[in-house]
Structure 1
Amino acid sequence: MEVQYAYLFRILVAGICGALIGYERKSRMKEAGIRTHLIVAIGSALMMVISKYGFQDQASWTGVGLDPSRVAAQVVSGIGFLGAGMIFMQKQTIKGLTTAAGVWATSGIGMTIGAGLYWVGLGVTLMILIAQKVLHSGFHWLATPKTEQIHIRIDDTPGVLDEIQTALKEKHIIILHFQAERNAGDMSELELELTVKLPAQCNTEQLFSIIQAIPAIKAFEVQ
């Protein structure tokens, strides 16, 4: 019974590590949060404990061969399906890759702690949290281009589309996807759907300022 309490402690520690990573993801409004990461870590630790110790009563059976790594190997494969469900395509942009990778890494942390390697599991948890914090910081040398989806409603006047494209080009904003259609409620207006790539030094507030400076634009929304 005392041995099983030790196993439960391992699973508890794994759950705490998973919850910490999930909290960081949730604070950034990502697809998988505290509950998902916590359950993944707990489940992975449980499977690792089962893989190592769940078949000890059969070790002395004649003609029975056991491979303690088989259950753990299936966890690594199975978690890939969960991660794949978090990745999706939205207007030429792939979303959810970091969250899916985080869930996959969380399962590894769970298995590590389930195997009794506490310091390794805790160390990797700390490494992931620090890496996420640093890579989401405001360091310009770490900044990378990002994409935004914009919905714009404009007056259908001559040259207005060229004016929008010129204004964006001057700020080194690249249009990745462009779709225009007439407003069904007002035939004198056009509705534009744009996917743009912003340079590393440009943020959403600066994008607002650029769009607001074009008189023909009546309404816009960053999705």
Structure 2
Amino acid sequence: MMNPWFIDPLHITIRLALAVLMGGLIGFEREQSSHAAGLRTHILVCLGATLVMLLSMYGFADFAKLDNVRLDPARLAAQVISGIGFLGAGTILFTGKSITGLTTAASLWVVAAIGLAVGAGFFYAAGLACLFALMSLFVLNILEKKYLRTKKLRHFKLEALDAPGMLSKVSALLVRQGHDIQKLSVEESSNQVESLIAIQMTIRLAKGAKVSQTVDDLHHLEGVRSVACD
């Protein structure tokens, strides 16, 4: 049985290597999806959490020999769990129309917990959590894209001639292609050469529709001067 106040270099190496491996697996999925926190960030978080757990459990062995000293290995671990929130918050972006980065922030929190578990020698739970996290991020991401995100909201901005029937032509084209117009607004556009209007629309694209093709179709409408989509 391992001495509770001593851990040999082999066990240290195994635990830190496992932290790099498990954190790297989850980080690799985030990297493939081009998210803010990728491979290196997840490895560093998991590795750091493991080191903190090792330090909490075995780094203060000398103090255990002193009178009236009580050691609580969970104290440093608790600081990791609360402190990782600041790093996760940095990956969350609010663009004014949507919030992104929540899944990446959650994955950072999970790899921190995995790192703590590895550092504590709780290998089975760490490995199982890593497996479930990979399933959530990779497998469910594929299913979500295939079945739950077939129709996305897109914001279009057009500049077109201020002519009778222009708005009807734009709407008719979109409806004919199966798109659903959620919001629509029209404003005058300042132009000294010709009279233009600015049409802003929020559209739920039809299943299988490509944004580039929709932009191209709108741009080729007679009287449309420019099309932008975000």
User: 1:174 pairs with 175, 179, 182, which one?
Assistant: 182
The C-alpha deviation readout for 1:45-84, integer Å capped at 9, x for no partner, is: 1111111111122112101111110000000000001111
Q: Secondary structure at the match of 2:227?
A: strand
TM-score by length of 1: 0.81
After TM superposition, give the deviation of residue 129 of structure 1 in Å: 1.4
| Residue 216 (structure 2) pairs with residue 212 (structure 1) | yes
User: 1:108 pairs with 105, 113, 116, which one?
Assistant: 113
After TM superposition, give the deviation of residue 91 of structure 1 in Å: 2.9
After TM superposition, give the deviation of residue 140 of structure 1 in Å: 7.7
- Contact 1:135–1:142 (CA<8 Å) still a contact in 2? no
| CA 1:213–1:109: 2 relative to 1, 3 Å | same
| CA 1:56–1:90: 2 relative to 1, 3 Å | same
- Contact 2:19–2:114 (CA<8 Å) still a contact in 1? yes
| CA 1:135–1:186: 2 relative to 1, 3 Å | farther
Counterpart Cα distance in 2 of 1:125 and 1:179: 50
| Residue 41 (structure 2) pairs with residue 36 (structure 1) | yes
The C-alpha deviation readout for 1:119-152, integer Å capped at 9, x for no partner, is: 2212211211122222222568841454444454
Counterpart Cα distance in 2 of 1:181 and 1:114: 63
After TM superposition, give the deviation of residue 42 of structure 1 in Å: 0.5
| Residue 67 (structure 2) pairs with residue 62 (structure 1) | yes
Give the letter aligned to residue 179 of structure 2: K
Q: Aligned runs of 1:140-155 on 2, under 5 Å?
A: 142-144=147-149, 146-155=152-161
| CA 1:190–1:82: 2 relative to 1, 3 Å | farther
1:198 aligned residue: 204
1:21 aligned residue: 26
Counterpart Cα distance in 2 of 1:31 and 1:109: 20
- Contact 1:76–1:107 (CA<8 Å) still a contact in 2? yes
TM-score by length of 2: 0.78
Q: Which has more radius of gyration?
A: 2
Counterpart Cα distance in 2 of 1:185 and 1:117: 71
Q: Which runs of 5+ in 1 are unaligned?
A: none
Paired positions, count: 219
The C-alpha deviation readout for 1:178-214, integer Å capped at 9, x for no partner, is: 68673669664555665x4636x63561x44444333
After TM superposition, give the deviation of residue 165 of structure 1 in Å: 5.2
Q: Which runs of 5+ in 2 are unaligned?
A: 1-5
| CA 1:185–1:208: 2 relative to 1, 3 Å | farther
2:3 aligned residue: none
Counterpart Cα distance in 1 of 2:120 and 2:193: 65
After TM superposition, give the deviation of residue 174 of structure 1 in Å: 2.5
| CA 1:159–1:32: 2 relative to 1, 3 Å | farther
